[in-house]
Amino acid sequence: MQIEGTEAKRKRYAAAKDRAPQLNAERNRKMAASAHAYVRGSTERFYQWLEDSNRAFLPAGPDAWICGDCHVGNVGPIAGTHGGLAIQIRDLDQTVIGNPAHDLIRLALSLAMAARGSDLPGVTTARIIEHMILGYEESFAETEDELDDSAADAMPKTVKTLMREAAGRSWKHLADERIEGIAPVIPLGKRFWPLLKLERQAIEALFTQESTRKLATALRHRDNDAELRVLDAAFWRKGCSSLGGLRFAVLAAVDSGKRERHCLIDIKQAVPAAAPHSRTAEMPKDDAKRVVAGAQHLSPFLGQRMLAEHVLGKPVFIRELLPQDLKLEIEQLSRQEAIEMAQFLAGIVGRAHARQLSSVDRKTWLTELQKNRSKSLDAPNWLWISVVELISAHEAAYLNHCRRYAMQEAA
């Protein structure tokens, strides 16, 4: 394994204790970038609000796997092992068996903050919430055969463009973005740090396991019996809310000779979920197995490409990064784009929930959602009240975070 960098880089990042301050500083920097970025990186604050608020006013949805961190950036194109491509939930760190209403509130908050970041008026936010619940409810009215993300209609223009881009991407695109080229080495620097000796040994052991080899050979264009070799590996400084846990990038070779193909595998520590879970439903106690199980139910294309393991005694989930996996980034939206995006994304989340439920449970949940609607605003009052409270709380918390960050920068 070619995992040692220059002597200077080894000294700079060698000790695990030296990583934490840098990771924390990076997390603070990312969260200070915008109010929407702060919302994405503060899942715990969302669930603290939920804990402190009056839960009685929220509808008691049926037990189902939920995303738990259902914001705009956690939805996007996902490739399946057999070549399919669909818009699905792409981050399941917080997944639990819980109340689907929590995903709706979190998504509504994210969309509302994106609207504010686009300087859209409050009236547009009200329409966003209306169309979001419309898209969600429409997905529950579909038949079993229609609950398929790859067949989702009425994609907004932004999503169609992203899907076309995803469909045309190759290994070279992924390698250029992630590891700065197709050379069989991970460049050490700001994003990738050298491994500690124990980490290197643990990864070597992990990649001798048959389960890991099968994960890498699962794609349809690879030989099921192909060998798997580690070419390089590094500690990966990536993400925002997950910064601080184990995160490794592994560059591996599948097969050999002229048939050899490279792949990039992401190993991420599974941490306990902040999202409240059902007290009666059975859910894996191991956090890595919980994440994989949630992915299999909510995002089938992603779930079939994931594996739960342990590294250095900590639960991790493993997946190969594919060129087609992209994040839906929203910088600026027009009024119409924001409304269309809200309805579409809520439909994706609705399908993910509905696929798990019987026709009776789907009908019951739909009926519950349609109760107590305002005559002038076709969205549940509990959803609107939740969004208003959360925007107020997160805007204040964001400004205080920026003040602290600015003071730290000046020190």
d(CA 313, CA 224): 29
Amino acid at 78: I
Pair of tokens at residue 356: 């798990």
Residue 64 contacts residue 356 (beta carbons within 8 Å) = yes
Q: What is the pLDDT of residue 153?
A: 56
**Closest to 290 measured CA to CA, from 69, 42, 46, 97:** 97
Q: What is the pLDDT of residue 132?
A: 94
Q: What is the pLDDT of residue 240?
A: 59
Residue with structure tokens 């908050």? 109
- HEC profile of the chain: CCCCCCHHHHHHHCCHHHHHHHHHHHHHHHHCCCHHHHHHCCHHHHHHHHHHCCHHHCCCCCCEEECCCCCHHHEEEEECCCCCEEEEECCCCCCEEECHHHHHHHHHHHHHHHHHHCCCCHHHHHHHHHHHHHHHHHHHCCCHHHCCHHHCCCCCHHHHHHHHHHHCCCHHHHHHHHHCCCCCCCCCCCCEECCCHHHHHHHHHHCCCHHHHHHHCCCCCCCCCCCEEEEEEEEECCCCCCECECEEEEEEEECCHHHCEEEEEEEEECCCCCCCCCCCCCCCCCHHHHHHHHHHHHCHHHHCCEEEEEECCEEEEEEEECCCCCCCCCCCCCHHHHHHHHHHHHHHHHHHHHCCCCHHHHHHHHHHHCCCECCCCCCEHHHHHHHHHHHHHHHHHHHHHHHHHHHHHHC
386, with CB counted inside 10 A (0-12, 13-18, 19+), is buried
Pair of tokens at residue 77: 């194109």
Residue with structure tokens 């686009």? 118
Q: What is the pLDDT of residue 244?
A: 65
C-beta atoms surrounding 280 within 10 Å: 7
Residue 120 contacts residue 335 (beta carbons within 8 Å) = yes
Residue 163 contacts residue 173 (beta carbons within 8 Å) = no
pLDDT averaged per 10 residues in sequence order, the chain, 411 residues? 45 58 80 82 85 77 95 92 91 96 95 88 91 92 60 76 93 92 88 92 95 90 89 85 79 90 95 92 96 97 96 96 90 86 95 94 91 72 90 88 80 61
For the whole model, what pTM was predicted? Answer: 0.89
Q: What is the pLDDT of residue 378?
A: 75
d(CA 399, CA 197): 41
Alpha-carbon distances of 273 from 43, 69, 242, 374, rounded to whole Å: 10, 10, 11, 34
Q: What is the pLDDT of residue 405?
A: 78
Q: What is the pLDDT of residue 28?
A: 83
**Closest to 207 measured CA to CA, from 195, 215, 197, 196:** 215
d(CA 366, CA 379): 13
Please tell me the total number of residues recorded for the chain in this structure.
411
d(CA 294, CA 306): 11
> What angle is formed at CA 54 by the lines to CA 49 and CA 58, rounded to 5 degrees?
95
Residue 133 contacts residue 104 (beta carbons within 8 Å) = yes
**Domain boundaries in the chain?**
7-410
